[in-house]
Chain A
Amino acid sequence: MTRTLAEDESSALLAAHGVPVAPATRADGPDAAAAAAETIGYPVVAKLVGDAIAHKTERGLVRLGLRDADAVRAAATELLAAARPDDGEVAVLVAPMLRGTRELVAGLVRDPQFGPCVMIGFGGVLTEAVADVAFVPVPLDAVDAAEAIESLSTQALLGPVRGEPPVDRDALAAVLLGLGALAEARPDVVAVDVNPLIVVDGRPVAVDALVELDG
């Protein structure tokens, strides 16, 4: 059996191993969510989080582009009302609304044949259909990370796109190296999804993360 970590706990674990993650604040209720949004600055994103919540988008548990305190309060109220009994303890996560045209995906899996492998590719909701991803067995070094990135088919998406600068390949490699470090440090981590990994001003930032643990 495996269990999942809540998004903010997943993000904290990734950040501790060098993966850049978007800052987020956990709020217990609508007023706390609005207060957090005031501190962060608008627009913000509000999401329902809990240990057992794995697929927020599919369940409609993400509210994007909230522009004022009232909108945040309303979203938080709806999100908390959407919680199911088997979600366990839940809260609202408030995060800045990051802008970037490109959504990448990164992850970690333990392959039965080759052991832990990290992944990089093009993400978002269509990631499995697009399937332009590359894996690298752990442990990996900077050459392995660079060559995995270079092996992706859609290289043009890593160049300058729609007025945005090219993706910083070293920063992207650092995401892979961070996931590799996590795999080595924590044998109980069976899988990680970072999707999307949004490119903001050329640098990748994890805006959603899911860590799956053994037991």
Chain B
Amino acid sequence: MSEPRPRTDLTPLFEPRGVVVVGASSHPGKFGFVALHNIRAAGFPGEVYATNRDGGELLGAPVYPSVDDLPDGAVVDLAFVCTPAGANPEVLRSCARRGVRAAFIASAGYGEAGEEGISAQAELVALADELGIALAGPNGQGVVSTPASLCAQIVAPNPPRGNIGIASQSGNFVSSFMNLAVASGVGISRAVSAGNAAAVGIADYLEWFASDPETTVALAYVEGLTDGRRFAERLRAVTERIPVVLVKGGATAGGQRAAASHTGALASDDRVFDGVCRQAGAVRAASIEEAFETAATFATQPRLAGNRIAVLTTAGGWGVVTADAIHRSDLELLALPDDLRAAIDEKLPPRWSRNNPIDFAGAETRDTIPEVLDLVTAHPAVDGVVMLGLGIQSNQARLMRGGAFYPDHGLERIVAYHERQDGRFARAAAEASTRTGKPVLIATELAYADPDNAGPRAVRETGRLCYLSSERAVRALEHLWHDARHRARRAGS
């Protein structure tokens, strides 16, 4: 087993006071231009410098021939390196001379590029260690740090600020997660493409996230792991501090042991990795979407104290399907307590379901939804809530607003009322959740069918995820429950 590398301080990578793009290009299609553009466009408040052999000017600022030529007194903690691999040893040395403490190497031509690349990579790592520079990459797409307004990457998007820390062995999945952050409004604290992870690996990033006050949940995509056992130990230490959601690529490819034993034949990479995650207390997600939604749930919802779930719905079918999903999961569809039933009876005419799912059956009036939401979330038998039907009135309002009879024919008032009400319901859900410390998840396909609908829009404005289906909300809640149950057992053992 290889010895753990000395702990690398990644603070200059995620919280640099100044940045230099090494190998900045004047061609807007090249990485060296895009990186500089993205850093500047995202409004990084610290000093930003660019270098290339030709000097000149880029995006209205001077370009220096090399890092050695930066102005006296320049404060630069991070170098974003886009130069060819052959130039990089000298780049690192000049960076060290100017006090740079972290380098993100976007350049390719290393471990992914045959024998020569592998030895160049080993030399670069040794040099960075010698110079005391934290080396991210090489062959990575970049690093994003929203609290620092840092968007140092050769790809898009620049995600909203939030509390999810992302580390990925695939740069494109960093983009995928950040696209989901943009779409859902649930933001990111830090995101890094590990590239070849030559010196700083996924576990290093996760450990840094665990002690980062801006990050409350880590989200990682992993493929190959060079030292699985050590990774598992470090993963466990991280999950003791913050939840970790993992998605693994290549888990179903091969891996079965050529062995005489049944046990060996059954020990596929996929099953063994399941066991590793379970033991480490990490959540393993089956897809990129499930991983993001689960991380978003950890980031924006209170934790579950138990597994008894109440479903609030304005129509029967949605509730039935959600109940089915709960029955298929390790969650429990709460049997409605008599006192809660009696309390809801006070708010609704007798045609409501009088059971869980709590189906209003269209009997709700102006204040029913917030009032019942308060009753349900406050009840001690309820651990979590799934709420369905948000946005249906605003959906009708949209049809009216876009139709031939608007704004005449007295439609303005009802349109405004519906949109106001849906916004109010979303806020009531978030407030009840925060007040009671219980998760309240809102699910509707309008979240993607019509993201501008007042319901989903208001959910986004509360900073929470509007789930795309009740099944996905239930899956996220189940992950929350497994996490809570595991933590309780660890605490008790």
Contact = CB atoms under 8 A, between A and B. Distances in A.
Given A113-B228, A114-B228, A128-B266, A191 B261 contact: yes
Q: Give the size category of B's interface with A.
A: 20 to 34
Contacts of B266: 107, 119, 121, 127-128, 131, 133
A142 B490 CA distance: 10
A160 B192 CA distance: 50
A140 B279 contact: yes
Contacts of A146: 489
Interface string A130-151: 0101111100111110111001
B267 A119 contact: yes
B264 interface: yes
Contact of A143 (B273, B276, B489): B489
Contacts of A151: 274, 278
A134 B261 contact: no
Interface residues of A, number: 38
B229 A137 contact: yes
A110 to B, nearest CB: 9
Contacts of B232: 114, 137
Given A109-B267, A144-B279, A128 B262 contact: yes
A137 B260 contact: no
A11 interface: no
Interface string B302-346: 000000000000000000000000000000000000000000000
B53 interface: no
Nearest to B330: A150
A193 B266 CA distance: 11
Given A191-B260, A212-B260, A148 B278 contact: yes
A111 interface: yes
B275 interface: yes
A117 B267 contact: yes
B364 interface: no
Contacts of A191: 259-261, 263-264
Nearest to B482: A147
A105 B263 CA distance: 9
B229 A114 contact: yes
Interface string B221-259: 000010011001000000000000000000000000101
A136 B264 contact: no
B261 A109 contact: yes
A135 B274 contact: yes
B272 A111 contact: yes
Contact of B264 (A109, A114, A127, A195): A109
Interface in A91-135: 105, 107-109, 111, 113-115, 117, 119, 121, 123, 127-128, 131, 133-135
Interface of A: 2, 4, 54, 105, 107-109, 111, 113-115, 117, 119, 121, 123, 127-128, 131, 133-137, 140-144, 146-148, 151, 191-193, 195, 210, 212
Given A105-B263, A109-B263, A134-B275, 17 more contacts: A54-B260, A108-B263, A113-B269, A127-B266, A128-B265, A133-B271, A135-B271, A136-B275, A137-B232, A137-B275, A143-B489, A144-B278, A144-B279, A147-B278, A147-B489, A148-B275, A191-B259
Nearest first, the 7 closest Cβ-Cβ pairs linking A and B are A107-B263, A113-B228, A135-B275, A191-B261, A114-B228, A109-B267, A193-B261
8 contacts: A54-B260, A111-B272, A115-B229, A119-B266, A131-B266, A137-B272, A147-B279, A191-B260
